[in-house]
Amino acid sequence: MKALYPGSFDPLTLGHLDLIERGASLVDELVVAVLQNPGKSPTFPLEQRLHQIRVSTAHLSNVTVTSFDGLTVECARRHRARLILRGLRAMSDFEYELQIAHTNRSLDPDFETIFLSTAAHYSFLSSSVVKEVARFGGSVDHMVPPVVAEDLGRFFNSAFHPPSR
């Protein structure tokens, strides 16, 4: 069984990585698909986000990383994934994610969406929160993988403190 985990991942957080690891344990192959959204100006270019995810998931042999534009169901179809993985942090996420799941299902009833709840200790994380903390020079080492923390430090020209792992 193959699943697709779509998102902008700008940047990848430890909450995303937690879902990737847990999702990968449930399926034979997990495709992490990074959305190229022409309506948004991402912090990191697409190639850098792909690199960050590949580095952060190198320990997972059944995870592949790709990019897409357009509809999620079209990307899932191209990769022959029948499941779409989505994460839920709070009830506010549920309403939005349910709407997207129903929309995807209306476009192609052969696709199923599965929801995983984010680990409680990552439930506060969002890419927006991470960027805000980094923008003002705060440490994001406990919020993102090391490669992302380094890139954020360079991007926001703030003091970077390597994680002590």
Instruction: Give the tens place of pLDDT for each residue, 116-125.
Output: 999 999 999 9
* Number of domains into which the chain is organized: 1
Q: H helices of the chain, where? A: 14-24, 46-56, 72-78, 91-107, 127-135, 146-155
The answer as to whether 151 is a domain residue is: no
Calpha distance 149→160 (Å, rounded): 8
Average pLDDT over residues 31-53: 93
Instruction: Give the tens place of pLDDT for each residue, 130-154.
Output: 999 999 999 999 999 999 999 999 9
Catalytic residue among 16, 49, 86, 131: 16
The answer as to whether 114 is a domain residue is: yes
CATH number at residue 27: 3.40.50.620
For the chain, how many residues are written? 165
The answer as to whether 143 is a domain residue is: no
Average pLDDT over residues 15-32: 98
How high does pLDDT run on average in the chain? 93
Catalytic residue among 25, 40, 142, 154: 40
Question: What is the residue range of 36's domain?
Answer: 2-119
The answer as to whether 127 is a domain residue is: no
Query: What is the per-residue pLDDT for 151?
Result: 96
What is the Cα gyration radius of the chain?
16
The answer as to whether 105 is a domain residue is: yes
Is 121 among the residues known to form the active site?
no
The answer as to whether 70 is a domain residue is: yes
Is 77 among the residues known to form the active site?
no
Is 59 among the residues known to form the active site?
no
Cα dihedral 111/112/113/117 (nearest 10): -150
Q: Which two tokens stand for residue 156?
A: 């926001």
Is 22 among the residues known to form the active site?
no
The answer as to whether 157 is a domain residue is: no
Distances in Å between the Cα of 134 and the Cα atoms of 40, 91, 152 are 19, 26, 7
The reported pTM is 0.91
Burial class of residue 139 (count of CB atoms within 10 Å of its CB; 0-12, 13-18, 19+): middle
Q: Per-residue pLDDT for 158 more than 80?
A: no
The answer as to whether 138 is a domain residue is: no
Catalytic residue among 49, 56, 86, 127: 127
**Torsion angles phi and psi, residue 47, rounded to 5:** -60, -35
